[in-house]
Amino acid sequence: MTETAIEVTALEHFFGDGEARKQALFDVNLAVARGSLTVLMGPSGSGKTTLLTLMGCLREVHAGSVRLLDRELFQSDEISRIDMRRRLGFIFQAHNLHDSLTARQNVMMGLQVHGRGDPKRHALAADHLLDLLGLGQRLDYLPGNLSGGQKQRVAIARALASNPDIIFADEPTAALDKVSGLAAVRLFKDLGRARGTTTVMVTHDPRILDLADRVVTLEDGRIVEDRAGTARNNASTAPA
């Protein structure tokens, strides 16, 4: 039986109050299997980012239910959401690296969120991840001295450093060339297979669709299409 990492039921979300109140999500239902790679697609303003932030414990759930790793987020308090976020990894389109920390130190922050630890072991883990992402020669570079693609890879390493249960990513390959982008997504896939890490990403990159297990399309705050991705189709049609 497939384990469910995220279960969204009858989710609705609003922005603003009174007459300015605007509904962003309408009766969204979604179940994401553990270890899968799910792509959220849709035009600008369709609600995919709002859905991502709600599933990522970055917003309060107003109505409906979001169960994340078997914990209900509706009516959860801020402390619970912060604790839950420590089990998640975030990759932002704007990498948001700390400009005064080196690549290694930025990745170490992903480990230090869990409290005091051995700085040497943290540094070794960060070095390993950065090396895996092809940045072994840029460990001590400040973000200002890295290219856009390199920064994004550091951000990916930071998100992966704490061995998260779920990765939420917003256009993680936008700044990467074809080879690097595919390598990064394959890394997510490998983590899904090896560790059961679930990945949910917003992307417009058609190359990613080939690797996705599932593609969910939103329009005007509603899921209008929910289909198996090419990877799943290929897997299911592959000869035994």
Partner 1 sequence: MTAFLARLLGRLPIGYLQLMHHPGRLLAALAGVAFANVLVFVQLGLAGSMAESVAIPYRLFQPDLLIISPAESESLSDASTLPRQRMFQALVHPDVTGGTPIYMGRSTWISGNDASSSIQFFGLEPDAGPFVHEALAAPLISLSLSDTALVDTLTRFVDMRGFAAAHPEAPVPFEMQGRQLGAIGTVSIGGGFGGDGVFLVSDQTFFQLFPQRSSATPSHILLALDPGADPGRVATELAQLYPPDAVRIRTVTQAMEQEVRYQMTERPTGLIFAFGVVIGIIVGIVIAYQVLSADVADHIREYATFKAMGFRQGFFVGIILEEAIILAAIGFWPGLALSELFYRSLAYLTNIPIFMTPDRAVAVFIGTIIACAMSGVLAMRKLAAAEPADLF
Q: Which of 170, 180, 208, 212 binds partner 1 (CB under 8 A)?
A: 170
* Complex with partner 1: residue 170 or 205, whichever CB lies closer: 170
Stated as kind and residue range, the H or E segment containing 139 is: none
* Complex with partner 1: residue 191 or 200, whichever CB lies closer: 200
Other C-beta atoms within 10 Å of 143: how many? 19
Secondary structure (DSSP) of 147-184: -HHHHHHHHHHHHHHT--SEEEEESTTTTS-HHHHHHH
Q: Which residues contact 229 (CB under 8 A, 6 or more apart)?
A: 37, 39, 209, 210, 211, 212, 213, 214, 215
Q: Which of 16, 72, 75, 82 binds partner 1 (CB under 8 A)?
A: 82
Kindly state the smallest distance separating residue 146's Cβ from partner 1, in Å.
15
Cα–Cα distances (Å) from 199 to 20, 24, 51, 157, 212, in that order, read 34, 23, 14, 14, 10
Of 2-10, 29-37, 64-72, 109-117, the window that binds partner 1 (rule: CB under 8 A) is 109-117
Binding status of residue 103 toward partner 1 by CB under 8 A: no
* Complex with partner 1: residue 8 or 52, whichever CB lies closer: 52
Q: Which residues of this protein are in contact with partner 1, per CB under 8 A?
A: 49, 52-53, 56, 58-59, 82-86, 88, 90, 92-94, 96-101, 105, 108-110, 112-113, 116, 119, 142, 162, 170, 202
